[in-house]
Amino acid sequence: MQLLHPHHHSRQYPDAISRDIMLKTLEFFENRGKAQLKLDDHERTWYADFLAFVAREGIFATLLTPRPFSDAEGARWDTWRNCEFSEILGFYGLNYWYTWQVTILGLGPLWMGTNEAMKQKTAQFLKDGGIFAFGLSEKAHGADLYSSEMTLHPQPDGTYLARGSKYYIGNANKAALVSTFGKIAGTGEYVFFAVEPTHEKYELVKNVVNSQNYVAEYALHDYPITDADILSRGSAAWDSSLNTVNVGKYNLGWASIGMCTHALYETINHAGNRRLFDHYVTDFAHIQQMMTDAYARLVAMKLFALRASDYMRSASPEDRRYLLYNPMVKMKVTTQGEEVVNLLWDVLAAKGFEKDMMFETVARDIRALPKLEGTVHVNMALIIKFMANYFFKAAAMPPIPRRDDAANDDFLFAQGPTKGLSKIQFHDYQIAYGSVDTPNVRVFRTQIANLKRLLVFAKPSKAQGQDFDFLLILGELFTLVAYGQLIIENARIYGESDDMLDQIFDFMVRDFAKFALQLYSKTSSTVPQRLMCLQMIRKPVPNPERFQRLWTGQVLALKDAYEMRPSTC
């Protein structure tokens, strides 16, 4: 799997416009240099220059305007292409990714709604270089939509007055439109409507974070709303909120991939050129292990996230497998990003704190992604709903090809009702696992078989089913199975070697054993459950020759391959 390399960006794109956007964005950041990036981060400088560049080049308009609403060449909503852009922005800093990410979220209710005039207005704002915001969370309730207090109060003339506040809303200081979720007074009907931050009845209360980003608390004080401002109502508004999260928060994983890639380059450059006790740091066995583990985890993150994109782009009302894989990008890929940074930090040691290193920024921000709106816990609760059908009710489903074609992803804005998750069907995961036969994949298959035995012969009791901590650990084991499945599928698509795949499953076997031990150690676990957990605790098959081939040929080979212009601050 090719890691992002800004100086040699040789990826193939289906059209020249897509390639031009990526190359110009890389050039923008490389020309600014690490010194300016770090200074702006430390001074918490609003990224007006970046947004001016985006507007000048029409980047958001090209990438985020669905085909029906723009006839400009190259304009479409293309998830594969947006993943590429998200990775690049993450590579240079979470702040730049964040304003793009929040714009995607803000656009969701606009493109999913039924207000055609507002869609035309949105397309024009994008063309003018506008950014957008997603007014969902509230200070007292977070993302608990049931408890939202933002309210539209009907008036005698058929209009409404909006009263209430929203909290933790990115871009709400400069957004062209803020998609705002609330209820209609008297009926409790859900509603999405659009407001403009320049309106006198819109109060920008404050920035609630210490960052380049503006993550706002805003309040509406009898803000006038007409039907022309309403995007959706009732169940459509509810579905729009959750479906927007499906589209937008998938990008969390790609931010993590970009950040980890930059951190990996900095770490191998430092370790490979530093001598201690008459040896290069990279000569030490434990350093080689940590660096190879970090590299394998990063490659796995990217393989999985790309494959999840294929399922998203191929989705339909009859095929909603993406609803398992999508939250895993938000949850699993981001927590793996933390693992990668932890490993790299043990190599960098004190160097990781230095202000001139991008790593200092990455180490701080990598923690944010799994924690946004309780990402890990919320998405694990969602993922568990799929477990029974995934393991025990496989269906004949169409194979999904690699989807890097220049197509508009129409279905993402017509996903429909968000109910019925437990009825979603999956193809047999054993097809993927049976397609490879490396030593560690074989061990992992044994672990899966023992997990299924636990689910059949020692399934969780009613009390355990209400113990979310117990379910979280069980969910981690299930997640690893689906994670490995898509990694195997994509390893074949992208031509990954058996060496790389077996090294990935080296850490997968260890992670499975770790979670099995945690389940074993739960106070509520029964004797049969503990016995079956013990069967899941396995050791990877060692292969020093394979390890050295990967260490020297792929990991150490990255030494001095890339370095951003040195910082002079």
Q: Over the stretch 464-517, which tens digit does the pLDDT of each residue have?
A: 988 888 988 999 999 999 999 999 999 999 999 999 999 999 999 999 999 999
pLDDT band at 142 (very low <50, low <70, confident <90, very high): confident
Residues 98 and 139 in one domain: no
End position of a domain, from candidates 83, 103, 131: 131
Residues 379 and 441 in one domain: yes
- Closest by alpha carbon to 108, among 414, 331, 420? 414
Q: What is the C-alpha separation between 34 and 233, in angstroms, rounded?
A: 46
Q: What is the C-alpha separation between 228 and 319, in angstroms, rounded?
A: 34
pLDDT > 90? residue 2: no
Percentage of the chain exceeding pLDDT 70:
98
Q: Three-state DSSP class for 498?
A: helix
Q: Judge whether 309 and 253 are in contact, CB under 8 Å.
A: no
Burial 21-48 (b: 16+ CB within 10 A, else e): bbeebbebbeebbbebbbebbeeeebbe
Q: Over the stretch 346-366, which tens digit does the pLDDT of each residue have?
A: 999 999 999 999 999 999 999
Asked whether residue 460 is domain-assigned, the answer is yes
pLDDT of amino acid 566: 66
User: How would you classify the pairing of strands 190-195 and 151-154?
Assistant: unpaired
The token pair at 310 is 């294929």
- Closest by alpha carbon to 264, among 333, 329, 334, 337? 337
Asked whether residue 482 is domain-assigned, the answer is yes
**Rg of the chain on CA atoms, in Å:** 24
Residues 81 and 138 in one domain: no
Place of tokens 């061990």: 443
**Amino acid identity, position 34:** K
pLDDT > 90? residue 1: no
Q: Let me know if 262 is exposed, middle or buried by CB neighbors in 10 A (0-12, 13-18, 19+).
A: buried
| Phi, then psi, of 128 in degrees rounded to 5 | -80, 0
- Please compute the mean of the pLDDT values over residues 107-132 and round it to a whole number: 97
pLDDT of amino acid 398: 93
Q: Looking at the chain, how many residues does it have? A: 569
| Phi, then psi, of 386 in degrees rounded to 5 | -95, -5
Asked whether residue 458 is domain-assigned, the answer is yes
Residues 475 and 358 in one domain: yes
- Please compute the mean of the pLDDT values over residues 302-311 and round it to a whole number: 98
pLDDT > 60? residue 301: yes
Residues 119 and 138 in one domain: no
End position of a domain, from candidates 85, 110, 131: 131
pLDDT > 90? residue 370: no
Residues 279 and 185 in one domain: no
Residues 365 and 295 in one domain: yes
The token pair at 543 is 């292969």
Q: Over the stretch 32-80, which tens digit does the pLDDT of each residue have?
A: 999 999 999 999 999 999 999 999 999 999 999 999 899 899 999 999 9
Q: What is the C-alpha separation between 499 and 543, in angstroms, rounded?
A: 10
Q: Let me know if 260 is exposed, middle or buried by CB neighbors in 10 A (0-12, 13-18, 19+).
A: buried
Residues 265 and 209 in one domain: no
Helix ranges (H only) for 180-284 are: 235-248, 251-273
Asked whether residue 392 is domain-assigned, the answer is no
Number of domains the chain is built from? 3
Q: Over the stretch 421-478, which tens digit does the pLDDT of each residue have?
A: 889 999 999 999 999 999 999 999 999 999 999 999 999 998 998 888 898 899 999 9
Residues 378 and 493 in one domain: yes
Asked whether residue 148 is domain-assigned, the answer is yes
Residues 40 and 174 in one domain: no
Which CATH number do you get for residue 261?
1.20.140.10
Asked whether residue 400 is domain-assigned, the answer is no
Residues 113 and 146 in one domain: no
Q: What is the C-alpha separation between 145 and 192, in angstroms, rounded?
A: 12
Asked whether residue 398 is domain-assigned, the answer is no
**Amino acid identity, position 75:** A
pLDDT > 90? residue 384: no
Residue 227 belongs to domain spanning = 133-234
Which CATH number do you get for residue 201?
2.40.110.10
pLDDT > 50? residue 568: no
pLDDT band at 28 (very low <50, low <70, confident <90, very high): very high
Which CATH number do you get for residue 29?
1.10.540.10
pLDDT > 70? residue 567: no
Residues 57 and 166 in one domain: no
End position of a domain, from candidates 234, 257, 275: 234
Q: What is the C-alpha separation between 282 and 551, in angstroms, rounded?
A: 10
Asked whether residue 325 is domain-assigned, the answer is yes
Is the overall model pTM greater than 0.85, yes or no? yes
